[in-house]
Amino acid sequence: MVLARAIRRLVALPFLWLGQLAGTLKTPLCIPALNAAWSISGDGDVARIALYRMHQHRGSEAARRQAAAWMAERPRPAIAAFAGLMALEAGETDVARDLLAQGRMLGDDDAGGLDLLDFWVTARSEDPHAAAEFASRMQTRRDLPSALKKLMLTELLWDAMRHQRFEEARDRADFLLQVEDVPEAEMALWALAKHGGSRVEAQRHLRQASLPPQRKIYFQVIGNLAIGSGGEAREMLERLRELDPSLAEDVARSFDVGDPV
């Protein structure tokens, strides 16, 4: 069995390399090559790469249909994780939760997709503390991929901001920025500098936070709320509602923005 699997993966390698090369060139020709690599190897990570490229070139609905077909034929944890994240993107939390359960029954994936799905499903719950509690449990794990580890530490940073544990928040932001550029950490330092009355420092952190406009405004809203600038937060929230209503809803889950802060 192990030898047969190794042989299949070896045979699939040329298709995988071709698909990855075509993917870097941003051509849809990557899709048939990656699909062939998955068909031959049966490797869930290859399926995940193929689904990602399909989502990129053919859209989320095509990728979701393919993921559902593959889950019916040859279920893998990585496929369940990808399909679950796509369900969340479509606002279908219950579907995502079911896919998470299916994926857990199948095992685990090295890329951490099921853990990522688990976090986002948890973050969609009615409990405003659930995401931070999940991140607190996960941060002690040694096997997390670096991107997922960063996400957990960032969640804990902003949980400290929300609850006005400002010294902890500064320490967490500084720690993250020692490793790499983390725009969300820069936004926390922006809010803290503003709270401390240092406009020049605040503007520097704001400039250094390389985020899409709606994400930057999102962190300006929750940063202002955290430091007690309720009026400015509500002004920014109106701008956020125009750009991205779902992000505005995320704010509502964490803060009561209707009352003065």
pLDDT in tens, 40-76: 998 999 999 999 999 999 999 999 999 999 999 999 9
- 134 touches 119 (CB < 8 A): yes
Round the average pLDDT of the chain to a whole number and report it.
90
Angle, CA of 255, 190 and 118, to the nearest 5°: 50
For 109, the token pair is 């994936």
CA 73 to the chain's CA centroid: 27
Mean per-residue pLDDT for 17-33? 85
Residue 5 has pLDDT above 90, yes or no: no
* pLDDT band at residue 197 under the 50/70/90 scheme: very high
Say which residues have a Cβ less than 8 Å from residue 147's Cβ, sequence separation at least 6: 112
Say which residues have a Cβ less than 8 Å from residue 85's Cβ, sequence separation at least 6: 96, 113, 116, 117, 120
Q: Tell me what pLDDT residue 260 has.
A: 38
* pLDDT band at residue 110 under the 50/70/90 scheme: confident
- 121 touches 88 (CB < 8 A): yes
**How many CA atoms lie less than 13 Å away from 230 in the CB half-sphere?**
7
- Residues 218-232: pLDDT tens digits? 999 999 999 999 999
- What percentage of the chain has pLDDT greater than the value 90? 72
* pLDDT band at residue 259 under the 50/70/90 scheme: very low
- 8 touches 42 (CB < 8 A): yes
Q: Tell me what pLDDT residue 156 has.
A: 97
Residue 93 has pLDDT above 90, yes or no: yes
Predicted TM-score (pTM) of the model is 0.85
For 178, the token pair is 């020692």
- Residues 145-174: pLDDT tens digits? 999 999 999 999 999 999 999 999 999 999
For 23, the token pair is 């993917």
